[in-house]
């Protein structure tokens, strides 16, 4: 029983990280049709920025953790906005070029991060509470899991409120469904593009800081390794669907955790099988629109 609880909470914590990456990916694809292979770099740059801030402000205090989260999200947002304005904006509707430029950017930024911070993982510390455990129904749960879960839930709530209740949110939802009509109404949809990139970058940057606590280190490859699963989550959930991304994040992470424990470490393999099944039987994803 305690093993199941541990796997559940750890899976939810990992799912939270997937969601922070996949939410932005899914919104960006849904609104603009851009498959953003550079999204992992938004996460990595957020993680490094958060770590740099934390180690300068006393890594083991709650204050420095909170500041590192804010800075990580802000740096991710800035980097994403910059990417949209400088690189992607010229290439809308040119999907091959978008793939080339975002793949290129992800390779270049990994090399850049290696140049600055080295290729070895940098091990990090958080507030002491993070490395302790909490007893939940007999299972000893590492505390950092709870932080990831709470943060992702707040991000999900914030995004849903933003999309449902604000004017720009309505423009984004409308743009996901029928972009040409949004422009035909006289709305400059490019502002919404930049906004969605910025929001996605902020979530990824926040995810970077949390991922570094979850795994205990930062490395230039952190974003890339999470990005693969975030893409799988996005496809399973349905491209463009935020709720789909949330549901699929949890499902994929739980599947991975349980398969790793009970099926001899085959978590990644099982996830890819699940992806293949979804593509075969429900190509538009669990909550995606029929094309």
Residues at the contact surface with another protein, assessed by CB under 8 A = 165-168, 170-171, 173-174, 177-178, 180-189, 195, 289
Question: In the bound complex, what is the minimum distance in angstroms from residue 168's beta carbon to another protein?
Answer: 5
Question: In the bound complex, what is the minimum distance in angstroms from residue 163's beta carbon to another protein?
Answer: 11
Nearer to another protein, 223 or 240 (CB): 240
- 9 C-beta neighbours (distance < 10 Å), count: 20
278 contact partners, CB below 8 Å, separation of at least 6: 235, 236, 285, 286
Tokens standing for residue 236: 């399973």
Nearer to another protein, 126 or 240 (CB): 240
Question: In the bound complex, what is the minimum distance in angstroms from residue 171's beta carbon to another protein?
Answer: 7
For residues 69 and 130, what is the distance between their CA atoms, to the nearest angstrom? 14
Q: Point out which residues pair with 141 in neighbouring strands.
A: 134
Question: In the bound complex, what is the minimum distance in angstroms from residue 240's beta carbon to another protein?
Answer: 10
Nearer to another protein, 2 or 183 (CB): 183
For residues 217 and 229, what is the distance between their CA atoms, to the nearest angstrom? 19
105 contact partners, CB below 8 Å, separation of at least 6: 37, 38, 41, 83, 87
Question: In the bound complex, what is the minimum distance in angstroms from residue 248's beta carbon to another protein?
Answer: 19
- 166 C-beta neighbours (distance < 10 Å), count: 11
Nearer to another protein, 6 or 287 (CB): 287
Nearer to another protein, 142 or 240 (CB): 240
For residues 51 and 175, what is the distance between their CA atoms, to the nearest angstrom? 36
């Amino acid at each position: 029983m305690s093993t199941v609880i541990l796997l559940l909470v750890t899976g939810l914590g990992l799912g939270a990280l997937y969601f922070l990456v996949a939410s932005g990916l899914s919104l960006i694809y849904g609104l603009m049709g851009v498959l953003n292979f550079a999204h992992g770099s938004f996460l990595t740059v957020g993680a490094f920025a958060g770590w740099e801030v934390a180690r300068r402000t006393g890594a083991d205090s709650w204050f420095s953790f909170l500041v590192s989260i804010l800075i990580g999200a802000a740096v991710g947002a800035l980097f994403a906005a910059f990417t949209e304005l400088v690189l992607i904006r010229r290439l809308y509707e040119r999907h091959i070029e978008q793939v080339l430029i975002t793949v290129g950017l992800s390779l270049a930024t990994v090399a850049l991060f290696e140049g600055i911070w080295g290729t070895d993982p940098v091990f990090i510390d958080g507030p002491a509470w993070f490395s302790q455990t909490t007893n939940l129904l007999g299972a000893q749960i590492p505390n950092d899991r709870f932080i990831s879960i709470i943060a992702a839930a707040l991000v999900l709530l914030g995004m849903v409120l933003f999309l449902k209740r604000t004017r720009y949110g309505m423009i984004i939802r409308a743009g996901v469904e029928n972009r040409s009509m949004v422009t035909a109404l006289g709305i400059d949809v490019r502002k919404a593009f930049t906004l969605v990139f910025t929001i996605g970058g902020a979530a990824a940057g926040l995810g970077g800081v949390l991922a570094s606590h979850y795994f205990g280190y930062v490395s230039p490859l952190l974003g890339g390794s999470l990005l693969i699963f975030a893409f799988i989550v996005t496809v399973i959930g349905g491209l463009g669907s935020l709720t789909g991304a949330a549901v699929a994040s949890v499902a994929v992470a739980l599947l991975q955790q349980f398969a790793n424990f009970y099926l001899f470490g085959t978590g990644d393999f099982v996830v890819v099988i699940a992806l293949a099944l979804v593509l075969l039987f429900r190509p538009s994803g669990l909550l995606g629109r029929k094309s």
